Amino acid sequence: MENTKIIFNKTPQMEKIRSAEASQEDAEKLAACLNTWGEDDSWGGSFGSTKFTTKGVFSEWLEQSKMIDQMLLIDDDEVKAYCSIDNHWDDKDAAYIPLLGARPKEQGKGYGKALLLEALRRCIKLGKRRLDLYTWPGNIKAVPLYKKTGYMWVYKTSVLMQNYLPAILSTSLFKPFFCQE
Ligand SMILES: CC(C)(COP(=O)(O)OP(=O)(O)OC[C@H]1O[C@@H](n2cnc3c(N)ncnc32)[C@H](O)[C@@H]1OP(=O)(O)O)[C@@H](O)C(=O)NCCC(=O)NCCS
């Protein structure tokens, strides 16, 4: 069983994902993406008032980052969507998604789903048992997608969602079913 791998087929959109590097090029691409997030009401006003610069994104987002990963989905040489993964604040066996977003004009093309699945794959590889994120109740673009990718709305929260697939897929009892040589 040691030489087995969990079957996790990659979708074509997942092939366009790579980790961000602390480089001017990635900072410029990520800033351009973040500057689109205020173009519609996707974020309810949380984005739009700040103009992201290459310099600021480089120093505050990439160079100083202590997060597990920051993933960029790149298509046509542009960052179409972004997703970060961090250590969980009170559970060393879990990870946490602080931020996920796609350019408003590029939503509905499978980018957000690809990033969520890739985050799950990377968490399983790191030996994490659970992946959490926060959203808000009326986020009708995100909540159905989260449910489709294995997240459950924690009762009486507004809204913490938890995904136990990493633990389920890694449990030794289920390995013969989920693994291949
Ligand atoms: C949430 C967000 C990241 C999703 O990314 P996206 O690229 O638009 O989403 P995708 O195209 O990858 O996937 C959408 C999925 O949700 C499904 N979906 C969307 N609305 C749905 C609904 N009302 N009912 C059922 N399914 C729905 C789609 O069918 C699709 O699933 P499928 O691929 O299995 O058919 C993106 O819409 C976004 O950036 N929103 C604004 C910011 C935001 O809310 N971020 C999350 C904060 S917690």
Q: Which of 48, 30, 26 is nearest to 38 (CA)?
A: 48
Q: What is the pLDDT of residue 4?
A: 58
Burial class (CB in 10 A: 0-12, 13-18, 19+), 86: middle
Question: What is the dotted CATH code of the domain comprising 5-180?
Answer: 3.40.630.30
Confidence tier at 1 by pLDDT (50, 70, 90)? very low
Instruction: Say yes or no to pLDDT of 114 above 70.
Output: yes
What tokens does 61 get?
């987002």
SS3 84: strand
pLDDT, tens digit (0-9, with 9 covering 90-100), for 42-51: 998 888 888 9
Instruction: Say yes or no to pLDDT of 149 above 50.
Output: yes
Averaged pLDDT, 55-84: 97
Averaged pLDDT, 63-67: 95
Instruction: Say yes or no to pLDDT of 6 above 70.
Output: no
Averaged pLDDT, 107-121: 96
Atom of ligand 1 lying closest to residue 136 CA: 48
Mean pLDDT over each residue of the chain, to the nearest integer: 93
How far is the centre of ligand 1, averaged over its atoms, from the C-alpha of 37 (Å)?
A: 15
What does the alpha-carbon distance between residue 142 and residue 168 come to, in Å, rounded to a whole number?
Answer: 23
Q: Which of 150, 153, 120 is nearest to 139 (CA)?
A: 153
Pocket test for ligand 1, best of 16, 145, 146, 157 (most atoms within 8 A of CB): 145
Q: What is the pLDDT of residue 180?
A: 67
**Taking the model in full, what pTM does it have?**
0.95
Q: What is the pLDDT of residue 181?
A: 60
Q: Which of 66, 68, 67, 72 is nearest to 25 (CA)?
A: 72
Of 170 and 68, more confident: 68
Domains in the chain: boundaries: 5-180
Atom of ligand 1 lying closest to residue 148 CA: 34
In this structure, how many other beta carbons lie within 10 angstroms of the beta carbon of residue 92? 9
What does the alpha-carbon distance between residue 40 and residue 104 come to, in Å, rounded to a whole number?
Answer: 7
